[in-house]
Structure formats: structure tokens, C-alpha cells
């Protein structure tokens, strides 16, 4: 098992048995839902690339929205970002996030 970008609270990346687990990724608090979604997905991309993977190897994603009224705007960005690959299994729900200015958080499980 390998853990990367770790602190007292969590690791950004955990690799175990050829499976990559990413902690929840978020955008910038001053962005709208579309920009936060894109920023979040670009963070996912960078973390996966760091360990030799990419978005085509994402197995599962969990998307947390602060408000389900942002569902369509988030999906527009999501669908464009995954337009060149088959998207992963996904769940989406509404939840209070760590900061009131955050609108979306995404966790990822991917293959190496």
C-alpha cells in the first residue's frame, strides 16, 4: 500500500492492489458551480496522472453537491469532461460541505 500527500487528517492518494483512491477534491470557493466542477475534475486528472493513471481508468465517482439545484450545471461540465471516454459508475447526492462556499466535492476510485 502507498499513501501520498498525507497529513494528520488524510492522504490525497492511496494505492492498494492496483486500485487508486482519491480523497474528496473541491474547487475554489470563489467560483460558481461550473468552474468549481471543472477545477475539481482537473485536480482529479493531475492526481491520477501523478500515479500513472488517467480519467479513462476511473471506476467510480461520488459527487456531493451543496444544493441539488446545481445538478444540471455540474452535469454539463461532467459530460463534457468525460466526452472522450466512457464515464465511470457514479453516485450524486446533496450534503453540507466543509466550507459554505464550496458547491461540489468529488471522490474517485480508479485503476492504476
Active site residue ranges: 92
Q: Which three cell numbers stand for residue 1?
A: 500500500
Closest CA to 69 of 39, 32, 42, 99: 32
Closest CA to 92 of 83, 81, 104: 104
Q: Which three cell numbers stand for residue 77?
A: 461540465
Question: From start to end of 27-103, where are the E strands?
Answer: 58-65, 89-94
Amino acid at each position: 500500500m502507498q499513501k501520498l500527500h498525507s497529513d494528520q487528517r488524510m492522504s490525497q492518494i492511496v494505492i492498494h492492489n492496483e486500485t487508486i483512491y482519491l480523497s474528496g477534491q473541491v474547487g475554489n470557493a470563489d467560483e460558481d458551480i461550473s468552474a468549481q466542477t471543472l477545477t475539481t475534475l482537473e485536480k482529479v486528472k493531475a492526481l491520477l496522472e501523478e500515479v500513472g493513471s488517467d480519467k479513462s481508468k476511473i471506476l467510480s465517482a461520488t459527487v456531493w453537491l451543496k444544493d441539488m439545484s446545481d445538478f444540471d450545471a455540474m452535469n454539463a461540465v461532467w459530460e463534457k469532461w468525460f466526452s472522450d471516454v466512457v464515464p465511470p459508475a457514479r453516485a450524486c447526492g446533496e450534503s453540507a460541505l466543509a466550507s459554505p462556499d464550496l458547491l461540489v466535492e468529488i471522490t474517485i476510485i480508479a485503476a492504476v
